[in-house]
Amino acid sequence: MSTEYTIPSEIKSAIDGKCPRCRKGNMFRAPLLSFKSKKMYEQCPHCDLKFEKEPGYFYVAMYVSYAFIVAQLVASCVGTYVLTGNLESPWLYLSVAVAVAIILAPFNYRYSRIVLMYWLTPQFKFQEKYFLRKKEA
């Protein structure tokens, strides 16, 4: 008797904020659009992977977040120019840039950590044995 199961893709698991090793446990305690969205579990609720592998590990996520914000600011300023055609007012661009930075801060915080864990840390690769393991109660 064979059991069929589907392993979620790496991209879908990353977007959903699942653990990179088992792709079942959540990394964050709350959804992205909530006031508690910054609360991150210390370890995976399913496979017990410790997310912060060493002290200061998530400082690297600041560099990923920096890349995100630069891309978002360039895109928002180019979009502002295309929509308004106004090249004269620095206040328009400054206000759009500040608004984009504030609105997308929760996204940058969460997904910079996810990118760090999924694609920049080789030790956190998917392992099928943890996906198939049942969590002991």
CA 110 from centroid of its chain's CA atoms: 4
Confirm whether 109 is domain-assigned: yes
Q: What are phi and psi of 18, to 5 degrees?
A: -90, 160
| Range scoring the smallest mean pLDDT among 64-73, 98-107, 128-137 | 128-137
Please name the helix (run of DSSP H) or strand (run of DSSP E) that holds residue 51, with its range, or none.
none
* Total-model pTM: 0.86
- The verdict on residue 74 lying in a domain is yes
User: Is there a domain that residue 4 lies in?
Assistant: no
In a domain, 2, yes or no: no
5 located within any domain: no
- Give the number of domains in the chain: 1
Position 137 in a domain? no
Could you report the per-residue pLDDT of 85-114, keeping only the tens digit for each? 888 889 999 999 999 999 999 999 999 999
Summarised one tens digit per residue, pLDDT across range 8-33 is 899 999 999 999 999 999 999 998 88
pLDDT at 3 over 70: no
CA-closest candidate to residue 129, choices 4, 2, 7, 1: 7
* 1 pLDDT higher than 60: no
Residue 116 belongs to what domain range? 10-132
Q: Where are the alpha helices (DSSP H) in the chain?
A: 10-16, 60-84, 90-103, 105-119, 128-132
